[in-house]
Amino acid sequence: MELLPVDQLKIQPRIEPVTPLRTGSSFIEANTEVVTFEEMRDRHVIPVFLKDNEPTISHCEFIETVAQATQDAFGLATFPRADIRVSHPVKGRVYEARHKKAQELLPNEKTIYFERMAFMISLPQIRDSISGNLLELTIGGVKAFHLDNLNSCKGGLEHFKVFIGFKNRVCTNLCVSTNGVKKDLKVRSLEELYRSVFDLISGFDSVTFLRNLSNLSKYELEEHQFAQIIGRCRLYQFLPAVLRKEIPELLINDTQVSRIAEHFYLDPNFAPSQNGSIDLWRFYNLFTGANKQSYIDKFVERGVNGFEFTQKIRQSLEGSYPEFWYLT
């Protein structure tokens, strides 16, 4: 699909609200809750920079800007919708209710915003299939206010994470790679944010990424190889720092490793074949499924790490990475 030249695009000062996309399961689950765009816009307060009381770029503005860049980049006729999840609420109250007990507060006397927010915009018209799993192109982002220096003035940089990849419709697992992610995007304005998101979208090579994902189904792990990888993943968590530097990084925690082991036998979509072997496409989806239990601020990095880790397993199986510690 042809993209519009960047210099022909303009930031809209105000665009219509995003309507959340409801799905059977969520793209991220741990410690999060669903919230609508309208609720964030109408009820949540906006954090400010303490030294000058100037507002940050709000969650709503972030979603609007990414959605606008998506609409412009793909020439969509309608404004795309977003599935939104939030965590780590910061509660407060209005001045007039300062002496009330918490249980006596009225709804209009309470204030709240969420420190962390993640959202995903799916484009069902851009899709492909791997091993019978339907994949949809997906754009999204993460905002965590604790990464910003809110004790400063407005002129400081604000941190965002944005991604473009594919969502597995079977399980809503997110498939992303380094080329489709900006893990530490720093901007001062909505215009800078828009241009960075649009550049990410226009530079994403979906054909190559889908080819890499499809190739995973050509490689298999025997049950004892899977067990060895899981065991080494557990050991990795406790290795001395000196040894860790020589081993491919693994970002998921021990609980998530246990979840991969559990779902090796129990997952209805990605369990091994009858002989106990599992192809790397199914292994990768066990990894991305476990990543759904990450906190919002770790979600994108662990998603990228899952793809890179699985690619290293593939290289080891084909002999181009013979010293892969997890399989030696």
Determine the pLDDT at residue 13.
Answer: 28
Number of compact structural domains in the chain: 2
The proportion of the chain whose per-residue pLDDT surpasses 90, expressed as a percent, equals 80
Same domain, 78 and 189: yes
Domain contains 316: yes
Q: Quick check: 155 pLDDT over 80?
A: no
Per-residue pLDDT band at 11 (split at 50, 70, 90) = very low
Tokens of 306: 């899952």
pLDDT average, residue stretch 247-275 = 95
Domain contains 1: no
Determine the pLDDT at residue 9.
Answer: 38
Same domain, 66 and 123: yes
pLDDT average, residue stretch 99-107 = 90
E strands, 77-218, are 83-93, 110-130, 133-144, 158-168, 173-175, 181-187
pLDDT average, residue stretch 79-106 = 92
Q: Quick check: 6 pLDDT over 70?
A: no
Among 125, 127, 156, 151, CA closest to 57 = 156
Determine the pLDDT at residue 51.
Answer: 81
Domain contains 41: yes
Range of the domain at 31: 6-211
Dump pLDDT digits (tens) for 126-150: 999 999 999 999 999 999 999 998 8
Same domain, 197 and 225: no
pLDDT average, residue stretch 202-226 = 97
Lowest pLDDT segment from 65-69, 155-159, 234-238, 268-272: 155-159
As a whole number, the mean pLDDT across the chain is: 90
Q: Quick check: 292 pLDDT over 80?
A: yes
pLDDT average, residue stretch 30-37 = 94
Q: Quick check: 23 pLDDT over 50?
A: no
Final residue belonging to a domain, choices 211, 245, 280: 211
Q: Quick check: 96 pLDDT over 60?
A: yes
Q: Quick check: 286 pLDDT over 70?
A: yes
Residue 184 · residue 161 · CB < 8 Å = yes
Nearest-10 Cα torsion for 131, 182, 57, 59: 20
304 contacts: CB under 8 Å, gap ≥ 6: 176, 177, 178, 181, 183
Same domain, 170 and 203: yes
Determine the pLDDT at residue 114.
Answer: 96
Task: Count other Cβ atoms within 10 Å, centred on residue 220.
Answer: 18
Determine the pLDDT at residue 24.
Answer: 52
Final residue belonging to a domain, choices 179, 211, 243: 211
Per-residue pLDDT band at 98 (split at 50, 70, 90) = confident
The secondary structure of 109-140 as a DSSP string is GEEEEEEEEEEEEEEEEEEEEETTEEEEEEEE
Dump pLDDT digits (tens) for 50-92: 888 889 999 999 999 999 999 999 999 999 999 999 999 999 9
Same domain, 195 and 223: no
